[in-house]
Every structure is written in C-alpha cells, then in structure tokens.
Amino acid sequence: MEYMTFLAQTAEEAAAGKPFDVPIDQIWRQIIDLTWLQAVLAVSFGSVYLLYGWRIFKILVVICFGLIGLFGGMKIGGQFNSELSGAIVGLAFLSLVSIPLMRWAVSILGAAAGGILAAGIWYAFELPEKYIIAGAITGIVAGGMISFIVFRVAVMLFTSLGGSVLIVTGLLSLFYQYEQIQQPPTGKLHQLIYSQNWFLPVALIIPTFIGIVVQNNFIKRSKNWNI
C-alpha cells in the first residue's frame, strides 16, 4: 500500500507548485523502523500479494482506497480540528465507493502503479529529480490506458508492485538489522540507498516483473477466474 502514499505525496507537491524530490529519508525510516517480526510479516504477506493478488484483488482494492480515504479524510478533517472524524468518514466513503466501481478502482490503481514505476526509472537514470513528476505522469497515462484496455493487466500490475514494495521493504529491513549486529556495524545498505540511484528502482522492478509473469500464468490456468 505504500506506493499509494508515495503517489499522494507526489500529487501534493505538484499541486503546491513545488519541485518534487524523491523522499529517500522517508523510505529509509520505513526500512529501519520495522522490527524483525514486522519485516518477516511484510515479506510473507508481500509474497501472497505478489503471487496471488489476482485471487484477492477485490479485497486489496477496498483496502487501498480505504487507506486513501483515511489519509485524505485526516487532512480535510484537520482543517476543521476533527482529524478522527474526517479519517473515519474518508475511510468508510472510499471503501464503500470502490465496491460498485471496482473496475474503475482497479484501473486507477493500475495507473498509479505505472506512475510509480515510471518515476522509479526516471530516478534510476539520474534524470533531474525536480522534474520526476513528468516521468510519473507519463507512467500514469500509459498505465491508465493499458489498464482500461486490458483489465487483468491492471490487476497484475498493481498487485505485483504492491507485493514487491512489501517484500523489498521487509528484506531490506532484515538486512539492515543484520548489519547492526556486526562488529563493527556496517553501513552498506545506507550507502546503496543514498548513493546508488539504480538500487531501489531495480529492487522493486525485478520482483514486480516476476509477479506479473507468474500471475499471468496462474490466470491463464484458472478457467473460473471472474473479473
């Protein structure tokens, strides 16, 4: 679900007319703040998300839109000193709306996933970060068009990317914790994330591609899969 937070932040930066910078510090905090148990759970759930997201995509869509409504409701409610009420209303509203509009909701998530992947490629090639929103918009348009034309592509795209985010975050957290018990502690992971632009995009894209290929094979063999 974390890639939806990334997209929301991108939209806010664009709306405010500010140059966008990749939130590496936030990503790093997500990695180092996990306990080993949380990291293992992230890898476990991410694996299910990555490989079998096509089976449970309707539940995942409701959860994703519920989270969007939660954060959006908190921001709106905060303007009226009522974050809790806004969060509850936003969570309930978008969760319920996503059910009858499932196909549209899936296509929107597919477009969002396309935007994240395109922004990652932009960052990996070390293009100017302040214009990364241009790369993200290109991915959103491409992902949206493909998602609306071939529905199952949208399902595979957003579930594979979501699973990849969880798996990679969990694995990097475990590696960080392993580094910390070394004598002396090493900082190789920090160096990779902060110094090598290609590292995070490649770490996300490879599992995403694997997930799409595996899910496509599963879907072809499942005659009763109902979209």
Neighbours of 125 (CB within 10 A): 11
Dist. CA 210–CA 212, nearest whole Å: 6
Least confident of 11-20, 110-119, 144-153, 179-188: 11-20
Q: Which is nearest to 214 in space by CA: 46, 51, 47?
A: 51
Six-digit token string for 152 = 């199952």
Q: Give pLDDT tens digits for 130-184.
A: 788 888 999 999 998 988 888 889 999 999 999 999 999 999 999 999 999 988 8
Q: Which residues lie below 8 Å from residue 118, measured CB to CB, with a gap of 6+?
A: 135, 136, 138, 139, 140, 142, 143
The confidence band for 227, taking pLDDT boundaries of 50, 70 and 90, is low
Model pTM score: 0.85
> What are the tens digits of pLDDT across the range 33-42?
999 999 999 9
Closest CA to 3 of 212, 181, 164, 184: 164
pLDDT in tens, 45-98: 999 999 999 999 999 999 999 999 999 999 999 888 888 999 999 999 999 999
Instruction: Show Cβ contacts of residue 43 under 8 Å, excluding neighbours closer than 6 positions.
Output: 166, 167, 170, 171, 174
The structure tokens listed for 27 are: 């990503």
Residue ranges covered by each domain of the chain: 20-54+102-217
The proportion of the chain whose per-residue pLDDT surpasses 90, expressed as a percent, equals: 70
